[in-house]
């Protein structure tokens, strides 16, 4: 694995000095299908510090989603170990918010009731969380839509509801798997700004999966670049860009240098050919 140091430690990047929150150590995942073994993830090691935002970018089929599911405890590892706060993950980790590319909203529940779904499933008192749900919806610009149904919303609005649902129980860890991949370009940019703002307010530990190079750089403290299947961490890049970041930062030479590093890695994999 190559490590690219590109950031000095400062108060703005306190997560760099925080203890490891998630530890992924020599993890492998092998799926057995139709009588043969398919290795999705190979000897992967990665640590996430408490309060850190880590993006993972890589080609389709490289095991990014599998990795996230293993961290969440929804898929078991074949070998190696994943631990969160020092405890080995052997079952679904309940102190995490998991957000997928598809919002998976329940069409028969209102926006507010979709946000409160986790509260109902966990058997918690709705009365203690309804105000928090309304406040989350306000933070993502959905005040006035509490009683609307998912089929009445745009794709971006639905993803905002899904984000609120993932945050309602105040998890310490957020796992996001291509959450904005299906959105149009303008909505995706706004969702990146919204997510950055929410993360800056609470500094939850974040693992963010994406295919987008610019999205990975824009959001993260560190970017992990994965190899084609079987997935490994090929390169780690520290991102030294001040926060809060504006979209115009993508036009800077520094941002461009990070993007070039990632593209060069993909070229080395044989995934990009400009000839």
CATH of the domain at 234: 3.40.50.300
Mean pLDDT of the chain: 89
At 44-102, the pLDDT tens digits run: 999 999 999 999 998 888 888 999 999 999 999 999 999 999 999 999 998 899 998 88
In sign, the C-alpha dihedral spanning 43, 240, 254, 201 is positive
Residue 275 has pLDDT above 50, yes or no: yes
**Residue 244 burial class via C-beta count within 10 angstroms: exposed 0-12, middle 13-18, buried 19 and up:** exposed
Helices 155-167 and 130-139: angle between axes, nearest 10 degrees: 140
Those residues with Cβ within 8 angstroms of residue 86's Cβ, 6 or more apart along the chain or in another chain: none
Residues 144-191 have pLDDT tens digits of 999 999 999 998 899 999 999 999 998 999 999 998 888 889 989 999
The whole-number pLDDT of residue 3 equals 42
Q: How far is Cα 87 from Cα 71, in angstroms, rounded to an integer? A: 12
R_g of the chain, CA atoms, integer Å: 19
Is residue 74 one of the residues assigned to a domain? yes
115 or 61: whose pLDDT is higher?
115
Q: What pLDDT, on the 0 to 100 scale, is given for residue 2? A: 47
pLDDT category of residue 103 using cuts at 50, 70 and 90: confident
For residues 250-258, average pLDDT: 96
Q: Is the pLDDT of residue 243 over 90?
A: yes
Question: At 148, phi and psi to the nearest 5?
Answer: -80, 165
Alpha helices in 172-247 (DSSP H): 185-202, 213-219
Binned at pLDDT 50, 70 and 90, residue 13 comes out as: very low
pLDDT of the residue at 272: 64
Q: Give the percent of the chain with pLDDT over 90.
A: 66
Whether 90 and 13 share a structural domain: yes
Q: Is residue 101 part of a domain?
A: no
Range from 163-172, 250-259, 262-271 carrying the lowest mean pLDDT = 262-271
Over residues 118-133, the pLDDT tens digits come to: 899 888 889 899 999 9
User: Rounded to whole angstroms, what are the CA distances from 99 to 25, 162, 265, 272?
Assistant: 24, 7, 28, 29
Per-residue CA distances from 74 to 65, 70, 89, 96 (Å): 11, 6, 10, 12
* Tally of domains in the chain: 2
12 pLDDT band, cuts 50/70/90, is: very low
Cα dihedral 139, 141, 101, 147, rounded to 10, equals 100
Tokens at 153, concatenated: 């919303």
User: Do 73 and 195 sit in the same domain of this protein?
Assistant: yes
**Which range of residues forms the domain containing residue 26?**
2-95+172-268
Q: Which residues contact 144 (CB under 8 A, 6 or more apart)?
A: none
Closest CA to 79 of 27, 37, 38: 27
pLDDT surpasses 90 at 271: no
Flag whether 44 is in a domain: yes
> Does residue 252 belong to any structural domain of this protein?
yes
Rounded average pLDDT over 214-230: 94
Average pLDDT over residues 252-259: 96
Domain annotation covers residue 120: yes
Residue 100 is assigned to a structural domain of this protein: no
Those residues whose C-beta lies under 8 Å from the C-beta of residue 189, and which sit 6 or more positions away, are 247
């Amino acid at each position: 694995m190559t490590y690219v140091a590109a950031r000095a430690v400062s108060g703005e990047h306190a997560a760099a000095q925080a203890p490891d929150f998630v530890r992924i150590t020599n993890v492998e995942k092998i799926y057995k299908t139709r009588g043969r073994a398919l290795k999705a993830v190979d000897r992967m090691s990665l640590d996430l510090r408490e309060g850190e935002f880590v993006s993972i970018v890589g080609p389709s089929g490289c095991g990014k989603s599998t990795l996230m599911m293993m961290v969440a405890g929804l898929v078991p590892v074949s070998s190696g170990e994943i631990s969160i706060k020092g405890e080995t993950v052997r079952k679904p980790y309940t102190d995490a918010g998991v957000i997928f590319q598809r919002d998976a909203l329940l069409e028969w529940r209102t926006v507010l009731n979709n946000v409160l779904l986790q509260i109902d499933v966990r058997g918690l008192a709705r009365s203690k969380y309804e105000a928090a749900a309304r406040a989350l919806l306000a933070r993502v610009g959905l005040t006035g839509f509490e009683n609307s149904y998912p089929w009445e919303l745009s794709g971006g609005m639905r993803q905002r509801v899904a984000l609120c649902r993932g945050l309602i129980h105040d998890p310490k860890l957020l796992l996001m798997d291509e959450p904005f991949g299906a959105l149009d370009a303008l909505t995706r940019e706004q969702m990146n700004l919204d997510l950055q703002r929410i993360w800056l307010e609470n500094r939850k530990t974040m693992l963010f999966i994406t295919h987008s190079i610019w999205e990975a750089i824009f959001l993260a403290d560190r970017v992990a670049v994965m190899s084609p299947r079987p997935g490994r961490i090929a390169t780690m890049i520290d991102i030294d860009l001040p926060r809060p970041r504006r979209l115009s930062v993508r036009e800077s030479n520094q941002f461009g240098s990070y993007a070039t590093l990632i593209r060069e890695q993909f070229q080395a994999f044989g995934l990009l050919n400009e000839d």
